[in-house]
Structure 1
C-alpha cells in the first residue's frame, strides 16, 4: 500500500443507528506529550540534563501505559463493547488500534507483486524473518504460520491461474510481550484485495447460509458468498497440498491455544478491506465451534479490529456474533465506498418501517457487526487515500484538526455508480463492476 502524506480532518463517534449522525472530534492522548526546550536558551550541559529528564519522563509514561494495559486489557479488547473508550478515544485503545493496524500493514509490505519473482503473489520473506524485514523486529510477536486463500472464481489473473495466494499470517506474543499485554495474544492478520478474483469475491452480492457448524447449520445465518468462498475453498491442484483458508486457520489457532492452555490468552483478528471480512468469518467460526476455550474450559475473548471493511452477513450473522460474545471494532472512513458494500440499498437501515415494524425481507438485508469508530478524511490529489490502510493509521497516530477537503466528487460519483451497477442480479455485470472498481482505486496509486 502506498503511503499518502496529507493532513486530513478527523472525526470519531460511537456506533449509532445511522452512520451519518453525531460525528465527534478525536482528542489528543493525555500521556507522553513533552515540549522540548529551545536549544539556544541553554548550555550543552543543561541541554544534556534536560534531555535526560525528558527521556526519563517518556519512559515513565510508557511504563505506566504498559502497566495500565496489562490491568485493563479485557476492556481495551472490548469486554464492555468499548463503552467510555471511544468518545473520547482512550489513549490505550488508540495505541492498540494503531499497533494492530501496523501488523496488517506488514501483510502488504511483505506481499510480492513482482510478476518476474519466484514468490509472485506470495510472501517475499521466510516466516522467521518476515516481521524484521518489514521493520517490525521489535513487535514482540513471532509468526507461526502463513495463511493462503483460494477464491473459487473462474477468471484468469496475471499468470493465468487461480491457485492459493498468501493472504496473511498467524503470530503469537513473546514472553516479554505477555508481561506488557497482560496475556498471551494469538494474532491473525489478513491483507486486503489485490488480485482480480479477490476483487470479484469482494463484490459478490448474494447471501448464502454459512453452515460452518456441522451440528447446527443455522440456515437463517447468511454471509456474502464471495467472502465465504475465499474462506472455505481449497486448492486441490496445489503442489503444496494446501487446505482451505479455514482449515489452515482453525488448525493453527487450536494448536496455539492448546500449547498455552495454562495461561491467560486472547484471540485477536485484524484485517483491512476484504481481509476484515475474513477476520469476521474466522472470529465467528472459532466462537461457533467453541474452540475459544482454555485448559479450564474458560472462554477466551475474541476481538476483531476491522479497517475499512465491508458488510459480511445478514442480521442473523450479526445477532449470532453478538450472542457468542465476538467483539468487533470497525474503523471506517465515511468517504470510503468499500465500507458501504455489500448492500448499498438493502442493509440494516432498510430492515424496519418507522423504527417499529420488521419488514419480511429483513433476513436478506446486510448488517454491519460491532462498534463503529468513524474517521472523515479525503485528499483531492490522491482520492484512493479514502481506502488506504496507511492513511487510516497515519490519521489515528497524528489526529490534527484541519479543514476537510470536500473534493473529488467525480471520483466518488464514479465509484458509487460502479457499486450500484454491481447490484444487478446478473453474475457477469458483477464481475465487470468489481474489476472496474478495483482498477479505479488502484489507478489512483500510480
Structure 2
C-alpha cells in the first residue's frame, strides 16, 4: 500500500554518466538507483507504443494510434509522470497488420499499407532542468503483427551505405525502417526519413534558442529495440552531415536504451556505432530467446569453436548489457515461458527489483506488480491477478442512444491523418445503424 513510484531525483549533474559517457562503469552491478529510474522511464515510453496501438482487426483504424499526438502521453498518464507532454511527430512504417480474409483492408480503411510504429517527444522545461538537458526521445513499437514476425525472422545481412567499412544489418529490420511507396498516404517517405527529418528539425530549433545541452534517447522493445539501433546509427551520421554543411559542431549526445532487442548488424556495424559515439545499453532477460536472434545457431557454433572474434559476416550485439533473470523475482512463475519472458512489463518488473547479481529482489521496489500480467500470465497464482487483463472496457463496444452495442467512432482529432490540416475538417465517424 505504497505509491507506485519514488520521488524524482535531480540528475542534472550526472546525466552524461547515466547515459553511458563512461560505458556505465560501476553503475550496473550494483544498479545505481538513478539509472534504474531512467531505465524505467524510457521503458514506459516504449510501453506506450503498445498501449496506444489499435490492433483490433474489427476496427476501422486497425494499425493506427488510438489518440492524436497532442493527447497520447496525457491519456496514458506519462505526461504528468515524466514531463514529456506532446509527441512532436508520429512515425509510420510499411509493415502490414494481418487481418482475416473476410475483413481485408479496402480503400475505406484508414490505410492499406502502413502501421503506426512510434513517436518522437521532447522534455518540457521543468523536466529538462531536472535531467540537465533538453531530451528528445524516440520510442519504437515492438512486434505485434504476424507479418512483422516474418520480418524479424529473415536472417540475411544486407549492406547499408558506408564509405569505409562493409557495414551490414538484418534485411527484415532494414525493410521496416526504409520501405516507402509513392501510392501510400503515410509512407511516401520511409520511417527512416520521417524520424531523421524530425530529429534534425528539433535539434536545429533548440540550438537556435541557445540551448547547449541536447540529447537524443532512443528506446524500444523487441523489434523496436532493433529499430532504435538503426535510428541511432543513421541519426548520428545525418546530424554530422547536416551540421558539417552548416559549419556547426553538433555536440548532440545520442544513446539507446533497448529491451529484449535482437542482434541487428555485423562487426563493422558495431565498430561504426562506437566510432560515432553512440552509447547503447541493452536490457536483457536471460530466459528470453529473442535477444539471441537472429543467427542463434551459427553464432553458438562459432563461439564454441572460438573463431568469432573478427568475423564480419555474423551478427554482433552492440553496447553494454544489463542482464536480468526471471528467477530473481519471488513474484514470477519459475516454469519456462518463452513468450512471457520476452514481455516488456516483465522486463520493467525485473529492472525495478534488481540490486546486483546474486542479491534478492529489492524489498522496496515500487512498480505495480499487477502490470506484469497486463499482457502475460507470468505472476504466481497466489497474487490473484488475472492474466492478460489489459483490455478496453467491453472490448471497445459502447451503447448508442438507441441502447444498441456498437463499435464507436473516434473523435475527429483522433482520426489518423497524414496532414495536420485534415484534423479540423474531418467529420466524426457516424455510429453504426441507428435503427
Fold shared, TM-score > 0.5 on shorter chain: yes
Matched, 1:122 2:64: yes
- 1:16-415 aligned within 5 A: 62=7, 65-66=9-10, 69-138=11-80, 139-141=82-84, 142-151=86-95, 157-158=99-100, 160=104, 163-211=113-161, 216=163, 218=164, 220-240=166-186, 242-261=188-207, 262-263=210-211, 264-289=213-238, 290=240, 296-347=248-299, 350=302, 354=306, 362-377=311-326, 379=333, 380=335, 384-399=339-354
Runs of 4+ more than 6 Å apart: 400-403
2:34 partner SS: helix
Unaligned runs of 5+ in 1: 1-34, 37-54, 404-440
Higher relative contact order (CA 8 A, sep 6+): 1
CA distance in 1 between counterparts of 2:241 and 2:340 reads 37
CA distance in 1 between counterparts of 2:269 and 2:360 reads 38
| Aligned match of 1:412 | none
2:158 partner SS: strand
1:103 partner SS: helix
| Aligned match of 2:369 | none
- 1:421-432 aligned within 5 A: none
| Aligned match of 1:8 | none
Determine if contact 1:140/1:174 at 8 Å carries over to the other structure. Answer: yes
Tell me the CA shift for residue 296 of structure 1.
4.9
1:97 partner SS: helix
Tell me the CA shift for residue 301 of structure 1.
1.1
TM-score if structure 1 supplies the norm length? Answer: 0.70
1:236 partner SS: coil
CA distance in 1 between counterparts of 2:217 and 2:309 reads 34
CA distance in 1 between counterparts of 2:83 and 2:26 reads 28
Tell me the CA shift for residue 363 of structure 1.
1.2
